Structure 1
Amino acid sequence: MGSLWLRLDARICALGRSVTKNIDYTLRVLLMVYLSMRAAVLDQAQGFRTIVSVISAQIYFTGWQALPLISVMALATGSVLVLQSMANLSLLGGTQMIGNFLIVMVVREAGPLLVALVVIARSGTAVASEIGNMRANREIEALESMGINPLSFIVFPRVLGGVISVLCLAFYFNVLALIGGFFLTKFLQDMPFTFYLDSLMRGFAQEDLLIFLAKNSFSGMIIFVVSCYQGLSVKKSPHEVPQVTTQAVVNSVIYVVVFNLTVTALFYLNQLQRLGVV
């Protein structure tokens, strides 16, 4: 009996240490967000034009260069969802609901998550490894010796450029999935485009815009803040760079998925409260 209590106590202690470690990590990441924004406003050592150039470069690499992959994923996702929704809703006599279904599946759920995963795979890994190599090669120390704050010159432009890129990519994904998916499947269904477009417009609500902005903007912030934090956590050895890059991917995916699930759960809980169910 005593050994059972000892094992149970050890598991509780391990769970407590894990929870404490995750909370401490989250607080450190949030603190870096605040410090980078504060440094960008107060620190003028590197100049406004330099920050804008870094932001533009980040938007180019994260947003523009990801368009081919996002296009393929958007067309594939949109085609599958359009075909499935039309086939199943037609059998049930609910073709009027196709717009609501596609808005929920593409704009609210699939779009933000798929775009975030693409950005994590492409840009999150690149940012973490880039900053990790800068730390290992003492480039960040050189910036500090010149009076340039790494948070305002390295972290803030990448976070801001990443947020803008994710928002633009998500908008492009939604439009291409909903419109391109319809035309790709046109030969398999005979629904008029005007009816389809009208159904989408009727299915779009103000809450969808809020969810779009919340999920995509915060997902972009999470990805690049976590990637920058992991890159800056490199001590001295270049051998640490692959490890922090992998950790950046894992943490980014976990935080993005949890955040998306939380927003979705809060939205539908609010909907149920409005209906008086809860």
Structure 2
Amino acid sequence: MTKNMEYTWRVLLMVYLSLRATVLDQTQGARQIVRVISAQIYFTGWQALPLVSVLALASGSVLVLQSLSNLSKFGGSQMVGPFLIVMVLREAGPLLVALVVTARSGTAVASEIGNMRANREIEALEVMGINPLSYIVFPRVLGGVISLLCLAFYFNFVALIGGFCVTKFIQDMPFAFYAESLMTAFSLDDFWIFLLKNSFSGMIIFVVSCYQGLSVKKSPTEVPQVTTQAVVNSIIFVIVFNLIVTALFYLNQLRNLGVL
């Protein structure tokens, strides 16, 4: 427990130092930082669209088909919207997108920075007066957060709309009724949960990956080890964070209902 707390504090300290370095360090201009952010968004967001599309369409089709078929049997077709909002937008969407980004981009960031560390490229940046935290860490974290938010929005859209189009051939339901059910079920709380889960999941993934990459000492053989550790820690932290947010939300719902 003490080791985990120490690890968490070190990661949080790196976040603070990277933000501070980005604000105070003027050795490289904003153009270079924007270039690194754009490259990270292109790799993490744009190039991941085919994989996210397939995953969203498959999971959305299964959830839409199950909700339409099972709820219709009990005359609960009006509950289709609330069920899908909870399953796709609140729970499954943030977690699945975070796992895809972790497996695809988190590993790439950790191995890239680890190799830079092993090849002493980071030391070369420091010799040139460039702070690695502002040039390497901050752009990747910011680009990763933006990418994950965009991917999560895209995932929800494809899962809810594309999934309905796929199951339209199996289960007959008017699209107007389906769309109205979704819009009625969607609330401001869902928006804040979407923003909170996905933004912090992106931050967790890329901060942990950058930290693990920077933890490489000298040997290139450490790179696969820190990459594996980055994936494991990112998945654990993301799942725990999602569970905490979900638990707090539903405890607050029960308190508002007077159950607690």
User: Is TM (by shorter chain) over 0.5?
Assistant: yes
2:29 is aligned with 1:47? yes
What letter matches 2:203 in structure 1?
Answer: M
Which whole-Å CA distance do the structure 2 matches of 1:247 and 1:74 have between them? 27
Name structure 1 gaps, 5 residues minimum: 1-18
Which whole-Å CA distance do the structure 2 matches of 1:45 and 1:58 have between them? 21
**In the alignment, which residue of structure 2 is the partner of 1:20?**
2
2:214 is aligned with 1:258? no
Matches within 5 A, 1:61-76: 61-76=43-58
Measured against aligned partners, the alpha-carbon deviations of 1:219-244 in whole angstroms (never above 9, x if no partner) come to 00000000000000000000000000
Q: CA deviation at 1:84?
A: 0.3
Measured against aligned partners, the alpha-carbon deviations of 1:76-132 in whole angstroms (never above 9, x if no partner) come to 010000000011100111100100000000000000000000000000000000000
TM-score (norm 1): 0.93
What letter matches 1:69 in structure 2?
Answer: L
2:257 is aligned with 1:275? yes
What letter matches 1:167 in structure 2?
Answer: L
SS of the residue aligned with 1:189?
coil
2:191 is aligned with 1:209? yes
What letter matches 2:214 in structure 1?
Answer: L
2:174 is aligned with 1:178? no
**In the alignment, which residue of structure 2 is the partner of 1:169?**
151
Which whole-Å CA distance do the structure 2 matches of 1:267 and 1:132 have between them? 38
Alpha-carbon RMSD across the aligned residues, in angstroms, is 0.4
- Of 212, 219, 244 in structure 1, the residue corresponding to residue 226 of structure 2 is 244
Matches within 5 A, 1:1-278: 19-278=1-260
Which whole-Å CA distance do the structure 1 matches of 2:65 and 2:247 have between them? 27
Question: May I ask how many residue pairs the two structures share in their alignment?
Answer: 260
Which whole-Å CA distance do the structure 1 matches of 2:50 and 2:110 have between them? 23
% identical aligned pairs: 81
TM-score (norm 2): 1.00
Measured against aligned partners, the alpha-carbon deviations of 1:176-197 in whole angstroms (never above 9, x if no partner) come to 0000000001011110000000
Which whole-Å CA distance do the structure 2 matches of 1:255 and 1:58 have between them? 22
Q: CA deviation at 1:44?
A: 1.2
Moved over 4 A (4+): none
Which whole-Å CA distance do the structure 1 matches of 2:12 and 2:45 have between them? 24
Which whole-Å CA distance do the structure 1 matches of 2:25 and 2:74 have between them? 61
Which whole-Å CA distance do the structure 1 matches of 2:128 and 2:208 have between them? 26
SS of the residue aligned with 1:46?
coil
